[in-house]
Amino acid sequence: MEHESDDIMLTSKQYQLLSYIREQLDHTGVSPSFEEMKDALNLKSKSGIHRLITALEERGFIRRLPHRARALELLKYPSPDTYRESSNQAASSKFLPSVVEGSFPKHLNGVGKAHDAEAVILPLYGQIAAGTPIEALSDPSSTIDVPASMLGRGDHYALVVKGDSMSEAGIFDGDTAIIENIETPVNGAIVVALVDSQEVTLKRFRQKGNSVALEPANSLYETRIFGPERIQIQGRLVGLIRHY
């Protein structure tokens, strides 16, 4: 099996499943069952696993072996140039960034509108600290084209990452973070958090009782704890664009 040289876009769930299958084949020599895959990806039904397996098969990453139960063959794996997380990080992280090279044609009109279902224009709000928080940015200064496949049904915007406090989650200085505009994230999501209505930062969100933790993904930085009234969630991270 070789690394794939082409930049084939995978969703975070597709990449997470591919990493899990690879890990199980390496450790046991047997591909996991659909039930095990469902549990590993925290999905509610095996129908979602069927769709992910089909998508990975269509993209040439895996092959189902005929006449054999639980038989999957791993044909290729995304290049480290495209995905910078290790297999251990991929298996343990709640967020697996979809990273694509930032070079898309500037031919669309209207922010957030897709003309050909291949690219969407999003407002680009400048820099967000992935180290020390910076002042909240309220007005878009420019726009950026992103693949429509990176986006869900909600509203989205983009921010440029500054700093290295999320590097162990595969988020690096200079990356462009694609943010879904939500106010109520699940525990473990990587979010844009507005602190005390003054500063904004990109961190992993944890809430327990009356405490909110904003966790870095770098051992050189400390987790910050706040009361929930001090934190306003302005979105969750759904993808990254990286220039090489």
Query: Domain map of the chain by residue range?
Result: 2-92, 100-242
Catalytic residue among 13, 38, 162, 203: 203
Q: Are strands 231-242 and 211-215 parallel, antiparallel or unpaired?
A: unpaired
- Answer whether residue 77 shows pLDDT above 80: no
Q: Return the higher-pLDDT residue of 1 and 186.
A: 186
Q: Given this model, what pLDDT does residue 122 score?
A: 86
Q: What's the CATH number for 100-242?
A: 2.10.109.10
**Dihedral pair phi/psi, residue 29, rounded to 5°:** 80, 0
User: How far is residue 39 from each of residues 28, 48, 201, measured CA to CA in Å?
Assistant: 18, 11, 31
Task: Name the CATH topology of 2-92.
Answer: Arc Repressor Mutant, subunit A (1.10.10)
Token pair, residue 158, equals: 């983009």
Residue 203 a catalytic site member: yes
Domains 2-92 and 100-242 share a fold: no
In sequence order, what DSSP letters do the residues of 112-180 get, joined into one string? T--SSSSEEEEEEEEEEESSS-EEPP-S--EEEEEEGGG--SS-EEEEEEESSTTGGGT--TTPEEEEE
The fraction of the chain above a pLDDT of 90, given in percent, is 17
Residue 219 a catalytic site member: no
- pLDDT band at 149; cut points 50, 70, 90: confident
- Answer whether residue 38 shows pLDDT above 80: yes
The one-letter amino acid at 124: L
Q: Put residue 149 in one of left, alpha, beta given phi > 0 → left and psi -120 to 50 → alpha.
A: alpha
What three-state secondary structure class fits 187?
A: coil
- Answer whether residue 98 shows pLDDT above 80: no
pTM here is 0.53
Catalytic residue among 19, 98, 165, 167: 165
Best CA proximity match to 165, nearest among 205, 220, 214:
220
Of 95-99, 155-159, 195-199, 212-216, which one has max mean pLDDT?
212-216
Per DSSP, 81 falls in state: T
Q: At how many degrees (to 10) do helices 46-58 and 12-28 cross?
A: 90
Best CA proximity match to 127, nearest among 80, 159, 149:
159
Mean pLDDT of the chain: 76
Contacts of 216 (CB under 8 A, 6+ apart): 130, 165, 166, 203, 204, 222, 223
